[in-house]
Chain A
Amino acid sequence: MAEFTVPEVDYTRYSNYQLVVIPLIILAVALLIIASWYVLTGSPVTQGIAFTGGTEITVETDGATTTQIVEAFSVEPESVQAVPTANTYIVTFQSNGNSGVAVTDLTRQAEQAGFEVQSAYEVSPSFGATTQTLALGGVGVAFLGMSVLVFLMFRVFVPSIAVVVSAFSDIAISVALMNVLGIELSLGTVAALLMIIGYSVDSDILLNNHVLRRSGDFYESTYRAMRTGVTMTLTSIIAMSVMAAVATAFGIQLLAAIGTVLVFGLIADLMNTYLLNLSLLRWYKFKGVAR
């Protein structure tokens, strides 16, 4: 039977510089991806129809091909995505200016082509723009609130900023991965980004708490925090990847999006907590003595 134990890392073998360089390079790459995305597309992340406006129709077919589905509609769909478990396709139309066709027309076209319409969803551009502002504001306020709370809890600068920086890096890496893997920003992924703020701070707080508020050797405290923290994060990663896989198979986009993006964030968090946050904490604790 497989056994699951958290390995003890011998941090004394690595300098703070060595530890911090990997997460910083990855953060820089992530920010570069986001910045170039912004330059190329005018938006830091590809936005789904919930934010840009558009129509999404889920149709059930008797084995129709993707081309047949594309031809059934009077306007070119932006994407046709198959749901693995059923003969079901999710067809997305981006609304671009005046060529928008009403959802009722598209539904009728789908029915005329012999498809069964499972669901249809239409968002107007200006409603999408409002949602976008709200979502960005929501993530911003959540991040600010978290930062303030962390500073209030630890009341020392370096450990607090370490938590905030790793939470920021978790979000940046997740967003960059979304861009690279072609996952659009949807209401589900916004929820996931907010949850990354909540989840990622857990293991950082645990680590800081063990090192700062307990007596005992730095490395011993770190190992104890890691044993608990890695278990927590791994449990969440496994739960979320399983949920994402099942939800993708069944075509439940909201759950799939939340699961996938959270897995990104949690993996990034594993790295950021035990490399970035830990090295900053060690630097703070020893003021450079143990280098």
Chain B
Amino acid sequence: MIDFRENWRIILLVIVVIVSLFALVSPTLASGPDSNSAVVQQSSQTNLQYGLELAGGTRVRAPLVGVTAEEVEFEPANAREVEQRIATAIDGAGPADVIARPVTETTGTVEVTVEGVSTTELQSILESTGYTASTVRTGVTETTRQEVVRILENKINEAGLSGGTVQEVTTAGGGHFILIEVPNEDAASVRSLVSERGTVVVQAHYPQDDIYTQQTVLQQDNFQSIGSAQEGQSGGAYVPVTVRESAANEFQQATVDTTLARPGGTRCTYSRDQNSTEPCLLLVVNGEVTNSFGMAPRLADSLRGGSWAQDPVFQLQTANVSEAQEVAINLRAGALPAKLDLTGDDGGTTSFISPSQGENFRTDSLLAGLVAVFAVSGVVFLRYRDARVALPMIVTALSEVLILLGFAAGIGYPLDLSVIAGFITVIGTGVDDLVIIADEVLAEGGVSSRRVFQSRFRRAFWVIGAAAATTIIAMSPLAILSLGDLQGFAIFTILGVLVGVLITRPAYGDILRALTTGNL
């Protein structure tokens, strides 16, 4: 009869192993394709997910080009003017290369995202244009980084690269990097994708002799500025745009000619029925229609009346803010507010792993791990010459790896080489601890009573606990610092040590007691 109270450690281990197995192979836990971790590929038999190193693909980690002046004194309403004045003072910079963002009622940040402008240069430019800044530093603002991440995500999705992810990472040294991972794609195409600029045109869609035709009414360089998405006063949201004066008259005429600017405006139903809608304005990015708009009566009136060209501003209205943000991104045609620094000395890293190498690494590293386990088993058998001691030792060590695999599958942590190195380390420290327990418990001819077992087990545990604590201390810097590829290694080594000390190694003590005293 099994005594549950005496064997609770073994029972706990069995339960945890079963839960891990469930997490590992149960189809119900398989996460969907929209999981946003760096998931690359899901193997068919298990819920394990593989990172780039084991699945193939490209990873680019790079900082953004730019210098930022903080607490520049200007009022929010003058932001456009600040941008233009500073842009003209910099050689080779257009209005798109300078971003002024109001922060408070009187100050804001000014970012210059053209290459080759140093902090001292920006400082002197600010002084010569009559602005004062508290500090000028390299790098761009948080808002810009987030915009870059959002735009890159859109680009990767548009290109049909499934499973691609973009995120912002911060190093312990305070450096900010953009991390892009795209499975099954080579480095050259990913780099050109993230650095190329798309084309955007605005077309009028209208019936001409009962056949719908499109006419381009605005080109990309006709825009003076493209505002950011804003919430409307009466619900909905909009993106304010300003057309250059040089193009304003032409646009005004075109809207009238294409019957867009008709009295009372138009209602656009392009998305539902493009062959019977009233005339629409279409936003076309890289040859594809991304958004369609009707025309408000008041705008139509001012276009027809000819007064619009004096103040060439209009708003692209959408149902909600996120849609408006989409429109703003589309209008900028995926142009990044700041470029990724892929070439210079300040650049980051690029790595590409071919899918076939990823697959080889997967099987080869499994083989390396298995061979290591067999080697350990051999030594343990030779040392104890007693299967009752050695076999549970190996089974216990393997159960630690199983629990960790289950954990990785459960939280969707992508397996990489470094994580596998962590598993092998865990087997190593695990067997070490089990040797300590076995030697202590079996000292001087085995255990006669439960009390002797308890005291010996406790003594063994002091050493194990101390060793575990030092391992955790040694690994924690790697787990916290984002030292690129070694974080997974450190995290899984620490997890393994914790699982070992709290669950599996105590259970081994109980197994050993049961087997050597025959007392279940």
Contacts and interface: CB of A to CB of B under 8 A. Distances in A.
Interface stretch (B111-119, B214-222, B308-316, B430-438): B430-438
Given A126-B345, A195-B425, A142 B186 contact: no
A176 B425 CA distance: 23
Contacts of A178: none
B428 A199 contact: yes
Contacts of B352: 103, 107, 117, 119-121
Contact of A194 (B186, B187, B478): B478
A117 B372 CA distance: 30
B473 interface: yes
A53 B348 CA distance: 9
Contacts of A286: none
B349 A121 contact: yes
Contact of A118 (B191, B354, B463, B474): B354
Given A146-B474, A209-B463, A255 B376 contact: no
A160 to B, nearest CB: 12
Residue among A4, A153, A254 with the highest chain B CB neighbour number at 10 A: A254
Nearest to A50: B484
Q: How big is the B interface, by class?
A: 35 or more
A201 interface: yes
A119 B351 contact: yes
A149 B357 contact: no
A242 B371 contact: yes
A233 to B, nearest CB: 8
A239 B424 contact: yes
Interface string B466-507: 110111011111100101111001100100000000000000
Contacts of B478: 138, 191, 194
Given A120-B352, A187-B484, A194 B380 contact: no
A194 B483 CA distance: 13
B76 interface: no
A229 to B, nearest CB: 9
Interface string A1-20: 01111000000000000000
Given A118-B354, A250-B368, A205 B470 contact: yes
Contact of A228 (B171, B191, B439): B439
Interface in A6-39: none
Nearest to B428: A236
B378 to A, nearest CB: 8
A146 B473 contact: yes
A102 B349 CA distance: 11
A227 interface: yes
Contacts of A209: 462-463, 466
Nearest to B58: A120
Chain B facing A: main interface SS: helix
Contacts of A121: 349-352
A22 B211 CA distance: 96
Residue among A116, A130, A235, A238 with the highest chain B CB neighbour number at 10 A: A235
B372 A126 contact: no
Residue among A143, A234, A247 with the highest chain B CB neighbour number at 10 A: A247
Contacts of B490: 191, 194
A184 interface: no
Nearest to B356: A118
Nearest to B347: A124
A130 to B, nearest CB: 5
Interface stretch (B261-269, B272-280, B415-423, B510-518): B415-423
Interface in B347-376: 347-354, 356-357, 360-361, 364-365, 367-369, 371-376
A145 interface: yes
Nearest to B348: A127
Given A142-B477, A231-B383, A243-B369, A120 B351 contact: yes
Residue among A2, A194, A240 with the highest chain B CB neighbour number at 10 A: A194
Contacts of A119: 351-354, 357
B347 A127 contact: yes
A198 interface: yes
A214 B456 CA distance: 11
Contacts of A143: 474
A227 B444 CA distance: 13
A125 interface: yes
Given A149-B469, A194-B475, A239 B376 contact: yes
A240 B372 contact: yes
A150 interface: yes
A14 B440 CA distance: 28
A278 interface: no
A202 B467 contact: yes
B1 interface: no
A3 B372 contact: no
Given A127-B349, A228-B436, A107 B187 contact: yes
A227 B435 CA distance: 10
A280 interface: no
Given A234-B379, A255-B365, A138 B483 contact: yes
Contacts of B462: 209, 213
Interface in A132-163: 133-135, 137-139, 141-143, 145-146, 149-150, 153
B351 A122 contact: yes
Contacts of B369: 243
Given A142-B474, A145-B473, A199-B429, A191 B421 contact: yes
B379 A235 contact: yes
Contacts of A2: 382
Contacts of B347: 124, 126-127
B508 to A, nearest CB: 15
A239 B466 contact: no
Interface in B174-206: 175, 186-188, 191
A77 B333 CA distance: 40
Residue among B61, B346, B431, B470 with the highest chain A CB neighbour number at 10 A: B470
Interface of B: 61, 171-173, 175, 186-188, 191, 342-354, 356-357, 360-361, 364-365, 367-369, 371-376, 378-380, 382-383, 385, 417-418, 420-421, 424-425, 427-429, 431-432, 435-436, 439-440, 443, 459, 462-463, 466-467, 469-471, 473-478, 481, 483-486, 489-490, 493
8 contacts: A103-B352, A117-B352, A119-B351, A130-B171, A130-B173, A153-B466, A238-B378, A242-B372
Given A135-B483, A137-B172, 7 more contacts: A116-B354, A120-B352, A131-B483, A187-B484, A194-B477, A201-B467, A246-B368
The 6 closest A-B pairs by CB, nearest first: A198-B471, A124-B347, A138-B477, A4-B382, A145-B473, A250-B364
